[in-house]
Chains A and B, each alone.
Chain A
Amino acid sequence: MKKNKLQILTNGIIKENPVLVLVLGTCPTLAISTQAINGIGMGACVIVVLTCSNIIISALKRIIPDTVRIPCYITVIATFVTIVQLVLKAYAPSLDKALGVYIPLIVVNCIILGRAEAFANKNSVIDSALDGIGMGLGYTLTATVMACIRELLGSGTLFGAPVTANLFSPFTILIMAPGGFFVFGCLIALVNRITKGKVKDKRANKCIGCPGAEFCSDVNKEGGCDNK
């Protein structure tokens, strides 16, 4: 299944949005999307880490032995996460403080490992870089939209500037965990409506139970893939 370059880039934005369609990286998204600025900051970190790790992993895919690929991926990802965190600490300490533990946790973020395993592992360096940027943009967009909704309704501000905060008391539950899940669910419903649930239908064959089924290119083949 060959895709052109533009498709690879735009795939991550809605059609295979990593958070809302693949449902990867839910925990950091819910945790940081309390303020719009955090969504953008976290998104930028994810774009950098995802693109760089996709490039390196794609370039090394013939050297890395299959049996130890996950530790190798983690090492590559952890390297970039460390770089990003040190840069943040030096130049944007307030953002580093706001995102807290979720920056080092990008190492185990399912989106990055998932894309390494499902895409960079099988595709060329350029395609992998485009996929990293596209998926990263999808993540950024989702986290920012979620954060805007939650910040506006939950604290009455937008990017830290008061919007409705002085007009009526904000509904603070939205910036807590239950509100996060609620907004998350609403956005998933919205994306399902836009894509008419096409992505979900793919799972209706032999790949049921495989967490990668939703974005796996082998999913429509007879008998699925050989990753049992």
Chain B
Amino acid sequence: MADKHTNLIVSSAPHVCNPADTATIMRDVVIALIPALAVAIYVFGFRALLMTAVCAAACVFFEWAVRKIMGRENTIGDWSAVVTGVILAFNLPVNMPIWMAVIGCFIAIVVVKQIFGGLGQNFANPAIVGRIALFIGFATPMTTWAVTEKMSQAIINNAGVDAVTGATPLAMLNAGAAELPSNLEMFLGTINGSMGEISACALLIGGIYLVVRKVISPAIPVSFIATVAVLAAVMGYDPIFQVCAGGVMLGAIFMATDYVTSPITTKGRIIFGIGCGIFTMLIRAFASYPEGVSFAILLMNILTPHIDSITRSKLNGVPKKGGAEK
């Protein structure tokens, strides 16, 4: 008799289930990153794949090792370490020494994520902090960009005939170079820069996939990119160039949308995106660094709890002030 009624068991709410869990979401993010990886391999060659694989493996290893040492349950099955590793690799120049990339993975996974309590407890996006620590700690290798034949003519011309390294479009703009890559080249990604950042087109494809799969909400990417474009126009830059250059696309679609470190409500997400855009353009226009996406996202990560508390949605039937608060 008992087994006849097994589907009548009453459990506590919520009753509507969705098979999505951390692992499926993170797998979707990895899938969405594949187009950008393909462009990176096309432009920079095999080493791009090697760097990405090493970073992903190192992140998974550190996640496993630190959880083991701390006596916590193993969480490498949720794929979040893989995503961190791939995104961190995308933020690095292709000819970065491997051991430096591994240090970045250590900072991202151990220092930023696991010391604060693991996935869900980190105050900032691990990949962003890993990138910033490497950028400040190893300034020269982090800003030495290899030139390959697949790149746009403007980059190769600026790098000089025999040079093996050249500037990124933003660094060229900062230095006042006469000839910049065209907007089409910027969009397709035959330009110089960090591995995964170069192709706005490939990142957009990944972003659309994530939005269609409902993994991310478009609020942050759209408000981030729109703010960059509007501010660029106001400041007298070319908006399309500014949006396609540097880490805006990668940051807006894959890093700013991290669940843990971005606001919960749509209103909060729009504030978050606008803030990222403002800081990015302020750093690009007025600071000594050519690029400011990672610093902008880190700053907004830190502000996220405050954004969440000021944009908390109001409950129906609760008095406006006082009373129900306590």
Contacts and interface: CB of A to CB of B under 8 A. Distances in A.
Contacts of A116: none
A171 B136 CA distance: 8
Contacts of B139: 172
A169 B141 contact: yes
- Going nearest first, the 5 A-B pairs with the smallest beta carbon separation are A173-B137, A171-B137, A173-B136, A172-B137, A173-B133
A159 interface: no
B111 interface: yes
Interface in B125-159: 133, 136-141
Interface string B106-129: 000001000000000000000000
B105 to A, nearest CB: 14
B136 A182 contact: no
A178 interface: yes
Interface string B74-108: 00000000000000000000000001000100000
Nearest to A172: B137
How many chain A residues sit at the interface, stated as a range, is 10 to 19
A184 to B, nearest CB: 13
Contacts of B140: 169
Interface of B: 99, 103, 111, 133, 136-141
A186 B98 CA distance: 25
A174 interface: yes
B138 A171 contact: yes
Interface in A163-197: 168-169, 171-174, 176, 178-179, 182
Interface of A: 168-169, 171-174, 176, 178-179, 182
Contacts of A171: 103, 137-138
Interface of B is mostly: helix
A6 to B, nearest CB: 36
Given A169-B140, A182-B111, 9 more contacts: A168-B99, A169-B138, A169-B141, A171-B103, A171-B137, A172-B138, A176-B136, A178-B133, A179-B137
A176 B135 CA distance: 13
Interface of A is mostly: helix
A186 to B, nearest CB: 10
Contacts of B133: 173, 178
A178 B138 CA distance: 14
A24 B141 CA distance: 38
B136 to A, nearest CB: 5
A172 B136 contact: yes
Nearest to A170: B137
20 contacts: A168-B99, A169-B138, A169-B140, A169-B141, A171-B103, A171-B137, A171-B138, A172-B136, A172-B137, A172-B138, A172-B139, A173-B133, A173-B136, A173-B137, A174-B137, A176-B136, A178-B133, A178-B136, A179-B137, A182-B111
Contacts of A168: 99
Nearest to A153: B137
Contacts of B137: 171-174, 179
B208 to A, nearest CB: 36
Interface centre among A173, A178, A182 (most CB of B within 10 A): A173
A173 B111 CA distance: 14
A172 B138 CA distance: 7
B128 to A, nearest CB: 13
Contacts of B111: 182
A182 B112 CA distance: 11
Nearest to A173: B137
Contacts of B138: 169, 171-172
A179 B141 CA distance: 19
A188 to B, nearest CB: 12
Contacts of A178: 133, 136
